Structure 1
Amino acid sequence: MDLPIVLDRASGVPLAVQVADGLRDAAAGRALRPGDRLPSTRALATTLGLSRTVTAAAYDQLLAEGWVEGRVGAGTYVTAVPAGIRPTTARRPVARTEVPRAGGGIEYSLRPGRPCIAALDRAMWRRAWRAAAEPEPDDAPRPDGLPEFHTAVVEHLLRHRGLAPADVLTTAGTSAAVAELARLLPAGATVAVEEPGYRRAVSALRAAGLRIVAVPVDDDGLVVEAIPAGCAAVYTTPAHQFPTAVRMAATRRVALLERAREEDLLVIEDDYDGELRYDVAPLPLLAALAPEHVVHLGTASKIVSPTLGVGWAVAPPSLLAAWRDLRSRTGTRPSPAGQRVFAALAAGGDLSRHLRRLRRELRERRDLVLAAAGRAGWCAHGDPAGAHLVLRPRVAGEPVPERAVLAAARERGVDVDGLAEHHDGDPRISGLVVGYAAGSRADLRAALALLTRG
């Protein structure tokens, strides 16, 4: 079958998206009709001069949208052509100019923490929201969370994080969960946190009247031997440390959990983007190694969207009981709407397909950052995971002060993060914390060109 698919390899639009758009266009123009058999992913890849990974991703997207279906042993077939369809490429906004607006101002943001909405299939998104609207409205609060959400989270953790929890509590995200946990710790207790570390978590702990002690982070993660005696809890981001982007070494994990057992420490494991790893399978979760001493926190914000406003906690039974009691006394409860959408995404397999697309997209975006840093002679730091890494600018082989690079970037219209603002005290290490998930690829390329310009 000769399909009229035209690819623009110089475009910032991913090739898989272009292939999917081309197939939609062919259906809209009646070159494809319901019942037609599509070429195999391998055959189409050969015809277009692409890798099979690209064509498989395009078919995954069309399968998720319901345009095509796979028949075991028979191939992939067109099932329907929705009326009034328009190619998604036409709806994609034109990339913004690389030149800052006259009079200054920020044109691009490379700050970390925002998800990759560009990888989110809109048909999948709308389908999940429609499914979430089907149940009748609740007439009573559900402080514990919805059973269907718990089922989806248990399956998600087992499949993507290797954790088989006996019980799950719904949260409004990791930051909100830390704030709730802080109220369950003894008044005035000491909590060890990573330095540099996640400032929102530190603020939530401090706002509850807890004493904060900063513990340094190096290339192997949290320096466990630097945790002082007498702490009630330790807050850590072991899978992809925020903001240094390193992974806690296996020996450090063992040492931390040994101290937790010996000193009855509570370890708060913030796994905010643990599903996003691109080289090998991640190390086992702390919660899987010592469930009696670890609270595992996850969120849908980084893998789907903060629009859902949901996350999850896995914790020792006694702590979960105290947490539920706190909610019954305070009326705190997460919104059910986002839980229903997440459950709908998981139920039809859309969530797993989305995660595959997301990992491919973020891996390729990370490569763009590394390439830009290499051309500029800058050093890059961080594991192949998540949606941010650390760049250390250099000129003629010599390091450039973080503050000077940040100021120059802002003058060019690029907002980027520095490690200094993630310290509780005087900065100990420096570098740029570059997020690469938000916006389009064209935006990312433009921002990187301005950031690394000599």
Structure 2
Amino acid sequence: MDLPPLPLDRASDVPLAVQLADAVRAAAVAGTFRRGDRLPSTRALAATLGVSRTVTAAAYEQLLAEGWIEGRRGAGTFVVGVPHGTPAPARAAAHPPAQRGPASAISLEPGSPCREALDPAAWRRAWRAAGDVPPALSHDEAGLLAYRAAVADQLLRHRGLVVEPDEVLATSGTTAAVAELAALLPRGARVAVEDPGYKRVSAALRAAGASVLPVPVDDEGLDVAALPAQLDAVYCTPAHQYPLGARLSASRRLALVERARAEGFLVIEDDYDGELRYDVAPLPLLAALAPDVVAHLGTTSKVLTPTLGVGWIVAPPEIRAALLAARGAGARPAEAGQRVFAAFAAHGDLARHLRRLRRILGERRAETVAAIRTTGNPVRGDAAGGHVVVPLADAAREAVVVSALAARDVSAAALSPYHAPGRAAGHGIVVGYAGPDRADLRRALGALRDVLAEEG
């Protein structure tokens, strides 16, 4: 590790070994050294500080005896951390901490990928293959060709959308893609969004100067008949509405694209959980029905991991050209995640992963639904993706359930904050079952079952 300054005063009467031990202690208390940091060997530290190895060995022996550091056979010497009872200096936080459960809490909040489904060997192969490619000397504004080809193949095989790699644009994820599209709209553009819906997208639209107009959602998805007039765009999640979990019905899909063509607005199709249906085949993409008025968005964050930080847009030619022109002076999607995804898809690992992921999530959903229904509570949402909704009667019941779960070290999301401010909100909890490992999920479902039974 890179060492922080460890000042030694050779003119002092204090022995150098004592000074060095004091400096390491001070760094641990200040947080410069953290629990688990590996320290240099006594020989390497002596060479760095320009002292004899006797000095560093004596300092380490003292710190070992006091419990500041520990030696691990064959591994080295590691910082244990500030011993119990030693006060650490307070640090002012740049931002207030989020109001969440303790670090030990099991998260049932939606939006997490399922790590259990990911084959570690395939994941390592993809990273090694990506690392074997020499660094690029130039940047393709559209994204790496290998990545765009992998996305085009995935869209064909898993979503039935026929596109060429040249029709795909790499992005930094769904929210970033919405921000790019919003920048092309006129200032003050009127954009309809689902209510309840994806809060980060609404924030991105407002940041671009758009006027966000909430539209209600029911068990058939977005209520197309409730769309206001004079729109510039409509954002929706037709494959698995976030967060209520419905899919946009066939009749509403047709109505939406007919209105888009007649009224001249753009449909932004976020294919949330589109690959993750395990009850019936998904309905055709809006982009397949109306490629002239639909911008299709996808991401790798739910099927693999947000670590890659990549997604894609398939948009009408004029919008694609405008996006590329804007990228010449703006942010570009990073290439590292694109390389890993392309490598992961190259030899069938992605297809095998998606099959395994659908099977595991199907099992987890069945277990989650069974636990909830034993309490007499209904479950809302199609058999898809990684979450369901448990409707509750009112705001008070919602708050009590969320608080009672937190007291049992389980973090869950309330439904009402997904609604736009000032609108009549539905109440409940959004239960994500993809993120925890199997044992944690079962513990969390036990707590959920108990709380719902106790709180009615």
* TM-score category, normalised to shorter length: 0.7 to 0.9
Aligned residue number for residue 421 of structure 1: 417
Q: Secondary structure at the match of 1:145?
A: coil
1:289-339 CA-partner distances (Å, limit 9, x unpaired):
000000000011100111111111000000000000000122x21111111
Residue pair 1:142, 1:333 contacting (<8 A) in 2 also: no
The farther-off stretch of 339-348 and 105-114 is 105-114
Task: Tell me the equivalent position of 1:190.
Answer: 190
1:418-447 superposed Cα distances (whole Å, 9 cap, x missing partner): 111101123421111110000211111111
SS of 1:401 mapped into structure 2: helix
Equivalent in the alignment of 1:161:
159
C-alpha distance in structure 1 between counterparts of 2:405 and 2:206, whole Å: 32
Provide the rounded CA distance (Å) in 1 between the counterparts of 2:395 and 2:368.
Answer: 18
Relative to the length of structure 2, the TM-score reads 0.74
CA contact (8 A) 1:393 1:400 kept: no
In 2, Cα distance between equivalents of 1:322 and 1:336: 21
Corresponding residue of 2:406: 410
- 1:382 maps onto 2:381 in alignment: yes
Instruction: Quote the Cα distance in structure 1 between the aligned partners of 2:417 and 2:395.
Output: 19
The residue number in structure 2 matching 1:110 is 108
Q: Report 1:15-164 matches (<5 A).
A: 107-164=105-162
Match of 1:326?
A: 326
Partner-residue secondary structure (3-state), 1:381: coil
| 1:217 CA displacement | 0.3
**2:242–2:272: 8 Å Cα contact kept in structure 1?**
no
Q: Distance in 2 between matches of 1:126 and 1:343?
A: 13
Tell me how far apart the structure 2 counterparts of residues 249 and 407 of structure 1 sit (CA, whole Å). 35
Instruction: Find the counterpart in structure 1 of residue 284 from structure 2.
Output: 284
Which amino acid in 2 is paired with 1:254?
A: L
Structure 1: distance between partners of 2:310 and 2:370:
35
CA contact (8 A) 1:377 1:393 kept: no
1:237-386 matched pairs, under 5 angstroms: 237-330=237-330, 332-386=331-385
Deviation of residue 400 (structure 1)?
A: 7.5
Note if contact 1:106-1:410 (Cα within 8 Å) is conserved in structure 2: no
Match of 1:401 in 2: 397
Q: CA deviation at 1:392?
A: 2.5
- Which residue of the partner structure matches residue 441 of structure 1? 438
User: Which deviations, in whole Å up to 9, do the C-alpha atoms of 1:342-393 show, x marking residues without a partner?
Assistant: 1111110000000011001100000111110111111101000011110135
The amino acid across from 2:351 in the alignment is: S
> How far apart, CA to CA, are the structure 2 residues paired with 1:369 and 1:384?
11
Q: Quick check: which has more Rg, 1 or 2? A: 2
> Quick one: distance in 2 between partners of 1:399 and 1:112?
20
RMSD: 1.6
CA distance 1:234–1:104, shift in 2 (3 Å): closer
Which structure has more relative contact order (CA 8 Å, sep 6+)? It is: 1
- 1:8 is aligned to none
Q: Tell me the equivalent position of 1:181.
A: 181
The aligned residue for residue 224 of structure 1 is: 224
The superposition leaves residues 101-130 of structure 1 with CA deviations (integer Å, 9 ceiling, x where unpaired) of xx9775211000010011101000000011
Q: Structure 1 CA distance, aligned partners of 2:424 and 2:390?
A: 16
- CA distance, structure 2, for counterparts of residue 223 and residue 163 of structure 1: 25
Q: Which amino acid aligns with 2:297?
A: L
CA apart distance, 1:202: 0.4
Gaps of 5+ in 1: 1-102
Contact map agreement 2:389 2:431 (CA 8 A) in 1:
yes
Aligned to 1:206: 206
Structure 1: distance between partners of 2:398 and 2:258? 37
Amino acid at match of 1:360: R
Opposite residue 157 of structure 1, the aligned amino acid is L
Q: Which residue of 2 aligns with 1:71?
A: none
Report if aligned partners of 2:372, 2:448 keep a CA contact under 8 Å in 1. Answer: no
State the one-letter code of the partner of 1:339. Q
TM-score, structure 1 normalization = 0.75
- Distance in structure 1 (CA, Å) of the matches to 2:251 and 2:425: 23
Alpha-carbon distance in structure 2 between the residues aligned to 1:382 and 1:237? 13
Structure 1: distance between partners of 2:155 and 2:438: 30
Given that 2:183 and 2:208 are in contact with CA atoms closer than 8 Å, whether structure 1 keeps it comes out as: yes
SS of structure 1 residue aligned to 2:123: helix
Q: Which runs of 5+ in 2 are unaligned?
A: 1-100
Q: 1:224–1:138: structure 2 CA closer, same or farther, 3 Å change rule? A: same
Structure 1 residue 272: deviation in Å?
2.5
> How far does residue 208 in structure 1 lie from its aligned partner after superposition?
0.5
Identity %: 57
